[in-house]
Chain A
């Protein structure tokens, strides 16, 4: 009786949480689509979307439909996916590295991406045939490969992996600075800087579908391995004693996080703090078990990022603040609280 009641209550609470989050996310995306220099009423937004997916034939002006469907909706949805992906990666890395301060860029991925980007923009590698995104993706994966190599295929323990990530980040940041200071002009350096801080400007439907595929695949793999992630609570050896193939799981999950992070970074820049902050918030609400935590991170991260995107567009009129600045402005105070609470227990 009692145990059935408890399981029922736990399941019910989680369901309420996910339901509420879904509703909030839908409205956040709608709001992000409505707000802008040309304000569109929420009602029109929903009608336009309904028309866009071919379910309705409401009368809306072509301009409004185009703004909603061609410009703003894809941007809002990419923001949601980016937030979901980064939060997911953060949760996984915090579990695998057993470090509450781990986040998606701890494996040097963002540093690698910036090096790849400046190599394409400033050095002109690829002879103009390569886009900034491709360069960034290549750089991100190069950094991840270096970290994997330095930490023996990511099998030699959490601290070793973190140190390898620090070393890779230092190396690639130095390379970026070297390229920017020796051969870039001021305008190019500013462009790179702005891109790195993150921007959803210019993303369109193809970006969305690519990111949707990567994030959905990543989430599916991670959920499949959620039970194994729980087993890492007391460390690698303990996970092995519980029957988890530790080396294989680590390598696959590091690979998945690198793939998701690289895809996001190459599309919208290195947006900080979402991957650090959201997993802690989600853990506080749904608890530490990953089968619930990972979906909670994804949906909370999505909401957070869409709201941050709205703030970045309305904080200063006629100007968009880099999204990374907004997430950090919210993220740093939260980070300070975690640091304060994570003091050694006496």
Chain B
């Protein structure tokens, strides 16, 4: 499914967080969202996923204005993976993945075999089947993130939003998670900090700065020494073989 944002504005009280953001994501595409801290990546992601309402502008998913779609209906098409969501409740891995079926179930309707199969295949997909009965609290950071993705998959979404899903993970798990998301047959939009990972796993990259979308294109078009200087205030060399690779050389003025 496609995601089209038109002229999004959003702010907290008088502070403008996002202004004039328009973008369009094609079905099946993986879009990376990069930008410095506070540039509005997370806010944009939440507006696109319908978790926040824009002050003006609109988001369309599959041609439908999401402000007119009921929450539950939206959650059947769109899944959102927060960065390191935590809980104190003593739940098992299976319980957590089962939560993904919430938008598909009625208030008192029973748990069907179809639900069970979807949960099982979601666990299989992220390689956590063997951990299904393990308490959530005993999982490592990488395992937790995989379970969150399994839960998002159990929603059977067409679009997945991920807010820095690789935060706090070691490099092996960062690559593992992104490879997994990339392999899914979904439209996905991922906010990322690591630009080298973004160039590795994304079809296109959108660059945010001060609440505005300053660039949108293929990794080769976007990741340049000029952009890194202007947006991220770092000096870097970008080699281009076979895809852009960044080598940081220092911060300007340092």
Contact = CB atoms under 8 A, between A and B. Distances in A.
A227 B102 CA distance: 7
Interface residues of B, number: 35
A7 B98 CA distance: 13
Given A227-B102, A345-B137, A234 B88 contact: no
Nearest to A225: B107
Contacts of B105: 227
A285 interface: no
Contact of B111 (A7, A100, A342): A7
Contact of A288 (B79, B80, B89, B120): B89
B47 interface: no
Contacts of B96: 233
B51 A241 contact: yes
A244 interface: yes
Contacts of A237: 46, 51, 80, 82
A289 interface: yes
B108 interface: yes
Interface residues of A, number: 30
Interface string B76-118: 1011101001111111000110011011010110010100100
Interface in B32-79: 46, 49, 51, 71-76, 78-79
Contacts of B73: 243
Contacts of B145: none
A243 B72 contact: yes
B51 A288 contact: no
B199 interface: no
A289 B95 CA distance: 8
Contacts, number: 79
B124 to A, nearest CB: 13
Contact of B71 (A230, A243, A283): A243
A251 B76 CA distance: 24
A283 B89 CA distance: 10
Contact of A242 (B86, B100, B108): B100
Nearest to B79: A241
B133 to A, nearest CB: 9
Contacts of B103: 242-243
B88 A100 contact: yes
A317 B49 CA distance: 65
Given A241-B51, A242-B155, A234 B85 contact: yes
Contacts of A228: 102
A224 interface: yes
B108 A234 contact: no
A241 B111 CA distance: 20
B107 A224 contact: yes
Most chain B CB within 10 A, of A100, A231, A241, is at: A241
Nearest to A238: B85
Contacts of A7: 111, 116
A7 B102 CA distance: 18
Given A223-B108, A242-B100, A233 B51 contact: no
A126 interface: no
Contacts of B49: 241
Contacts of B72: 243-245
A233 B80 contact: no
B94 to A, nearest CB: 10
A243 B107 contact: no
A231 B71 CA distance: 13
A255 interface: no
B137 A231 contact: no
Contact of A233 (B75, B79, B82, B91): B91
A3 interface: yes
Contacts of B100: 242
A94 to B, nearest CB: 9
Contacts of A226: 107
Contacts of A242: 75, 99-100, 102-103, 155
B6 to A, nearest CB: 22
A244 B85 contact: no
Given A242-B103, A245-B71, A233 B108 contact: no
Contacts of A331: none
Nearest to A3: B116
A74 to B, nearest CB: 32
Nearest to B88: A100
A184 interface: no
B116 A230 contact: no
A130 interface: no
A98 interface: yes
B69 to A, nearest CB: 10
A108 B51 CA distance: 30
A234 B120 CA distance: 21
A102 to B, nearest CB: 12
Given A235-B85, A283-B90, A241 B75 contact: yes
14 contacts: A3-B113, A98-B87, A228-B102, A237-B46, A238-B85, A240-B71, A241-B79, A243-B71, A243-B73, A243-B74, A244-B71, A244-B72, A244-B102, A291-B108
Given A243-B74, A243-B102, 7 more contacts: A227-B107, A233-B89, A233-B99, A237-B80, A241-B80, A242-B103, A283-B90
Interface of A: 3, 7, 98, 100, 223-228, 230-231, 233-235, 237-238, 240-245, 283, 287-289, 291, 342, 345
**Chain A to chain B: the 10 pairs with minimum beta-carbon distance, closest first:** A243-B75, A243-B103, A241-B80, A243-B72, A234-B85, A242-B102, A233-B87, A288-B89, A243-B71, A231-B102
